[in-house]
Amino acid sequence: MSLRILFLGEGTSDSGITTHIRRIAIDYGFQVVITDPLVERLPASRRRTVRSKLEVITEIGGAYELIVIHRDADRDGREPRLREIELAVNSVMPDTPFVGVIPIRMTEAWLMLDERDLRTVAGNPNGRMSLDLPRPKFVETIPDPKAVLAEKLALASGLSGRKLIKFKQRFPEHRRQLLDRIDPAGPICDVSSWNSFNEDLLSGLQRAARELQLGLRTPHARVRPPQMGCP
């Protein structure tokens, strides 16, 4: 049987993270079913906080062995975001294992490391203009990675005028594609928050499976010993 995982992002374009949740689970011998509700369809008052999103899920009868919640660190940093997630889960779904996916400062910092992917998503894979991408070890020090990513995509597109204006309007879709295409063995390996996501997810999967094996939840999964780390 499978571990039931609830993924909550900040928006629809965060859904690409589920690709990596599924990949990590499969790599380490877990069978999973991931629920990724369209939080943007919720009333505005019900999608403002992690707690309010979880309350909606419980109201419709969702039951899960593991909760994975994405929150950009923004200016607050990793620890306050983890505490926010912990408080929300403990108040709405107590005793349920959870994992925080917390890029520093924004998820866009993960998406401007692979030049080939940027050019492909921008629709100009053979472009030759210099993109001057940041080095992985320093990408999370950029104050506004969203603006920088949008700039790099526009540059990679080679477009101008009205075509460029229309291109920029598709940024959420470009962002989703880039997130889905992250190479887990590529330059992302040098980004600390990405490594924390991988390690924390594996720990969460192990805990959820262990609780099932102990009979604390409905049995679903079997686990084999993992080995973590980028090549």
11-15, 117-121, 167-171, 212-216 — which is least confidently predicted?
212-216
- CB of 119 closer than 8 Å to CB of 158: no
The two structure tokens encoding residue 41:
């369809």
Cα(216)–Cα(204) distance, rounded to whole angstroms? Answer: 15
Query: What pLDDT, on the 0 to 100 scale, is given for residue 216?
Result: 61
The CB-side HSE value for 189 (13 A sphere, CA atoms) comes to 9
Arithmetic mean of pLDDT over the chain: 90
- Looking at residue 37, its pLDDT comes to 86
Question: Would you give the DSSP letter of residue 42?
Answer: S
Q: In what order do the strands lie in the sheet with 3-8?
A: 32-35, 3-8, 66-70, 98-101
pLDDT over 70 at 1, yes or no:
no
Is the previous residue joined to 105 through a cis bond, with omega within 30 degrees of 0? yes
The pTM is what? 0.88
Label residue 61 by pLDDT band (50, 70, 90). confident
* pLDDT on residue 230: 65
CA contacts within 13 A on the Cβ side of 176:
12
Q: H/E/C letters for each residue in 111-126?
A: CCCCHHHHHHHCCCCC
